[in-house]
Amino acid sequence: MTALLSVTGLRKSYGSVEVLKGIDFEVKAGEKIALIGPSGSGKSTCLRCMNFLEKPSAGDIRLDGERVGVRPGGRGDSERIMSDRQLAPQRAQMGMVFQLFHLWPHLSVLENVAIAARKVRRLSAVEARDLAMEMLAKVHMSHRASASPLELSGGQQQRVAIARALSQKPKLMLFDEPTSALDPELVHEVLKVIEELAAEGRTMLLVTHEIAFARDVADRVMFLDGGVIVEEGLARDVITTPREPRTQAFLKQIR
């Protein structure tokens, strides 16, 4: 089976500092991959390179076989980085959920989700509303559709942000520490929603410090340290019996 997402030779530097030092991996359709690693190891940078929120310094990212962010050069033309406008359809295929939710405070919950559906998928107002309600039901937020995001708990806001990402009907979900800004008692409700999406067979790449969650929900785990993937394997193996000393040290520290 071909990979849905395939990353080859990914590098990213800020000035003279190389943050990602050559990363290769694949995510097959339906696979759930957890990316773990110490703070500053390059996890967010890696995720943001997938949809060119950060422009890679080198490497090749393909979604469903199509090169992301770069148009092939023709006859003597070198390849070109796409503009944000050209990138928009590719970005829409990757639903991104950040640590902070970034909902519009002046719009209702429903409008926050519907506006994404309208913009990205060019639906009519009625279609967008229907789709938004469907996605809010998936994250168990239908009952707050007309509320302002300001009235919601952090866990509820994050679930709305997940509904917003889902309303793009993405092929792949990218989660960057979706629970790390939440009060501890709100973490579970967000993880439960992610687990339900995983059970639906959605493809996801998830950065998380929730190690037990990664072990139970992910198919594979990649451990990133110092801008390289130090260890990669079946989730249970990497987390319960890591091979590499650096993985062992990291897991011991966060337990």
**Complex with Mg ion: residue 62 or 209, whichever CB lies closer:** 209
One-letter amino acid for residue 109 of the chain = V
Residues 33-62 within binding reach of Mg ion (CB under 5 A): 43-44
Instruction: Kindly state the smallest distance separating residue 43's Cβ from Mg ion, in Å.
Output: 5
Residues that bind ligand ADP (CB under 6 A): 14, 19, 37, 39-45
Nearer to Mg ion, 43 or 91 (CB): 43
C-beta closer to ligand ADP: residue 149 or 178: 178
Closest to ligand ADP by CB, 45 vs 179, is 45
Burial class of residue 126, CB neighbours in 10 A (0-12, 13-18, 19+): exposed
CA 190 to chain CA centroid, nearest Å:
14
Which of ligand ADP, Mg ion, none interacts with 118 (beta carbon under 5 to 8 A by kind)? none
Parallel, antiparallel or unpaired: strands 80-81 and 70-71: antiparallel
Q: How far apart are CB 162 and Mg ion at their closest, in Å? A: 18
User: Sign of the CA dihedral 212, 214, 220, 225?
Assistant: negative
Q: Which does 167 bind (CB under 5 to 8 A by kind): ligand ADP, Mg ion, none?
A: none
Find the binding residues for Mg ion in span 197-226 (CB under 5 A). Answer: none
Helix (H, G, I), strand (E, B) or coil at 146: coil
CB of 198 to ligand ADP, least distance (A): 21
CB 19 → ligand ADP: shortest distance, Å?
A: 4
Residues 6+ apart with CB under 8 A from 194: 162, 175, 178, 204, 206, 213, 217
Cα angle: 220, vertex 28, 98; to 5 degrees: 70
CB of 163 to Mg ion, least distance (A): 23
